[in-house]
């Protein structure tokens, strides 16, 4: 088990290495951070001073060494916009984002499993067709638009929920629903299709031939056996929320999380803050992936320990 986890972590380090390479190439080779970060009116001396301050006047290999050093120390310099260490900003905003994702995904999971399972009982039946259509519908809604519509309906017309910002529990409802609907659709479709596959397995026939009642067959055998696939997808939904969808949703609802901060950093040309966010998210993704692998291993005894 320890070897297994070590191996996954090694693979995760490879991911982080890849991400840092892309960031390095993007910021130092393709783009010109000085041009991006300083206003157009800046003088040449100001530019040179800034370049020196950032270490951009050094040779490329030297820059690479410095860059790797800063990665290891988890130090991404100061945010130009907030004028304080970038990591400080990240840690301040990160909990909001994690809470939002956890809320929306938690609800999505709790709804998706029973809905998918009910649909799978009678493929082609009414419940199934409603589920499939609902799932495809959920997948088709652009989140930024869904969010605006929800604001329009619940905040502007009915005035029952706040339009934006964070704070009370009521503030969670609209962003969480917006973020969760595509996840719910995907999870529900997966629960449905894997449940249908599972119910066609020979061992389910064995369970039925044993005379087990419906509940035992469904929950004790079928549902339990799709958990591994379901948890994997749920983990991926968490990751994709973290790595992108929250940017859109947080922007629409002005949610004070990491995604909104990322967009603000871009608008203010704050490369250091953006770098810090990308790295933090990459590290989180790697951690979640390792966790998922371990969970799968615990559920499915067939997966080889190596």
Partner 1 sequence: MTSLASPAGAVRKPWPFAALLAELWNDKAAVAGLSVIVLLLLAALLAPWIAPYDPAAQSIASRLTPPAWLPRGNLEHLLGTDQLGRDVLSRVLYGSRASLLVGVSVVTLAGSFGVVLGLLAGFNGGRVEAMIMRLVDVQVAFPGLLLILLVISVVGPGMGTLIVVLACTNWMIYARMVRAIVLGVRQSPYVEAAEMIGCTAGRVIFRHVLPNLTSPLITLGILEFTNIMLAEAAMSFLGLGIQPPATSWGLDVANGRDYVFVAWWLVTFPGLAIAATVLAINLFANWLRVTTDPQEREKRFARAMAAERRRRRRSR
Partner 2 sequence: MDMRNEAPLLEIDGLEVEFDTRRGVVRGLRGVDLKIGRGETLAIVGESGSGKSVTAQAVMGLIDVPGRIARGDIRWMGQSLVDDPKGDGRGVRGKEIALVFQDPMTSLNPLMKVGTQIAEVLTRHLGMGDEEARIRVLELLEAVGIPAPPRRAAQYPHELSGGMRQRVMIAMAIACEPKLLIADEPTTALDVTIQAQVLELIAGLQETLKLSVLMITHDLGVVAGLCDRIAVMYAGRIVETGFADEIFERPEHPYTQGLIRSTPRLDDRTERLTAIDGSPPNMLVPPAGCAFRPRCPVAGPDCEIEPPLVTTLPGKSVACWRSGTPAWPAPTGHIAAEVRTSPSELPDVRPILRVRDLGVDYEASTPGFWGRMRKISALKGVSFDVFPGETLGLVGESGSGKSTIGRAVLRRLEASEGRIFFKGRDITDLKGEALRQTRREMQLIFQDPYASLNPRMRVLDIVAEPLIVHGLIRKAEEGREEIGELLRLVGLPKDAHDRLPYAFSGGQRQRIGIARALALKPDFIVADEPVSALDVSVRAQVVNLLQDLQQELGISYLFIAHDLSVVRHISHRVAILYSGRMVEIADRETLYRSPCHPYTEALLSAVPVPHPATQRARKRLVYRGDIPDVAHWPSGCHFHGRCPLADQRCSIEVPRLTERSPGHWVACWHK
Interacting residue ranges for partner 1, rule: CB under 8 A: 11-12, 14-15, 18-19, 22-23, 26-27, 30-31, 33, 36, 122-126, 132-133, 136-137, 139-145, 148-149, 151-152, 156, 239-240, 242-245, 247-248, 251-252, 262-263, 266-267, 269, 271, 274-275, 277-278, 281-282, 285-286, 289
The listed partner (partner 2, partner 1, none) that binds 18, CB under 5 to 8 Å by sort, is partner 1
231 or 263, CB closer to partner 1?
263
302 binds partner 2 (CB under 8 A): yes
203 binds partner 2 (CB under 8 A): yes
Number of residues in contact with partner 2 under rule CB under 8 A: 28
208 or 268, CB closer to partner 2?
208
121 binds partner 2 (CB under 8 A): no
171 or 186, CB closer to partner 1?
186
The listed partner (partner 2, partner 1, none) that binds 269, CB under 5 to 8 Å by sort, is partner 1
Separation CA 280–CA 295 (nearest Å): 23
Q: How far is the CB of 288 from partner 2 (least distance, A)?
A: 22
Helix 224-240 vs helix 170-199: crossing angle, to nearest 10: 140
142 binds partner 2 (CB under 8 A): no
Separation CA 74–CA 86 (nearest Å): 10
46 or 216, CB closer to partner 2?
216
Separation CA 284–CA 286 (nearest Å): 5
8 or 93, CB closer to partner 2?
8
The listed partner (partner 2, partner 1, none) that binds 30, CB under 5 to 8 Å by sort, is partner 1
The listed partner (partner 2, partner 1, none) that binds 300, CB under 5 to 8 Å by sort, is partner 2
127 binds partner 2 (CB under 8 A): no
Task: Output the 3-class SS for the chain.
Answer: CHHHHHHHHHHHHHHHHHHHHHHHHHHHHHCCHHHHHCCCCCCHHHHHHHHHHHCCCCCHHHHHHHHHHHHHCCCCCECCCCCCEHHHHHHHHHHHHHHHHHHHHHHHHHHHHHHHHHHHHCCCCHHHHHHHHHHHHHHHCCHHHHHHHHHHHHHHHCCCCCCCCCCCCHHHHHHHHHHHHHHHHHHHHHHHHHHHHHHCCHHHHHHHHCCCCHHHHHHHHHHHHHHHHHHHHHHHHHHHHHHHHHHHHHHHHCCCCHHHHHHHHHHCCCHHHHHHHHHHHHHHHHHHHHHHHHHHHHHCCCCCCC
Token pair in block for residue 264: 């603000």
132 or 212, CB closer to partner 1?
132
Separation CA 54–CA 34 (nearest Å): 9
99 or 155, CB closer to partner 1?
155
Q: How far is the CB of 113 from partner 2 (least distance, A)?
A: 17
CB atoms within 10 A of CB 249: 29
Q: How far is the CB of 92 from partner 1 (least distance, A)?
A: 18
208 binds partner 2 (CB under 8 A): yes
The listed partner (partner 1, partner 2, none) that binds 271, CB under 5 to 8 Å by sort, is partner 1
Report the interface residues with partner 2, using CB under 8 A: 3, 6-7, 123, 201-203, 205-213, 216, 220-221, 224-225, 299-302, 304-306
């Amino acid at each position: 088990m320890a070897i297994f986890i070590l191996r996954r972590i090694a693979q995760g380090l490879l991911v982080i290495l890849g991400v840092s390479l892309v960031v390095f190439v993007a910021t130092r080779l393709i783009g010109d951070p000085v041009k991006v970060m300083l206003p157009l009116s800046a003088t040449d001396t100001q530019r040179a001073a800034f370049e020196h301050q950032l270490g951009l006047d050094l040779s490329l290999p030297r820059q690479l060494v410095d860059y790797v050093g800063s990665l290891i120390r988890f130090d991404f310099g100061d945010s130009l916009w907030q004028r304080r260490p970038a990591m400080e900003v990240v840690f301040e905003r990160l909990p909001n984002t994690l809470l939002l994702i956890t809320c929306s995904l938690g609800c999505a999971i709790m709804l998706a499993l029973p809905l998918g399972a009910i649909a799978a009982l009678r493929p082609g039946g009414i419940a199934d067709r409603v589920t499939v259509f609902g799932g495809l519908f959920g997948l088709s809604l652009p989140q930024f638009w869904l969010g605006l519509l929800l604001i329009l309906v619940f905040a502007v017309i009915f005035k029952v929920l706040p339009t934006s910002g964070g704070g009370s529990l009521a503030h969670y409802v609209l962003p969480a629903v917006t973020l969760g609907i595509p996840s719910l659709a995907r999870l529900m479709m997966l629960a449905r299709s894997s449940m249908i596959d599972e119910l066609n397995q020979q061992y389910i026939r064995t369970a039925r031939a044993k005379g087990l009642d419906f509940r035992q067959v469904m929950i004790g055998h079928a549902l339990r056996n799709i958990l591994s696939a379901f948890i994997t997808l749920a983990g991926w939904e968490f990751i994709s929320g973290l790595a992108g969808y929250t940017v859109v949703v947080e922007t629409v609802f002005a949610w004070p999380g990491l995604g909104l901060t990322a967009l603000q950093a871009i608008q203010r040309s704050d490369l250091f803050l953006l770098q810090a966010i990308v790295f933090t998210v990459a590290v989180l993704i790697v951690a979640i992936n390792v966790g998922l692998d371990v969970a799968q291993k615990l559920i499915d005894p067939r997966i080889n320990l190596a």
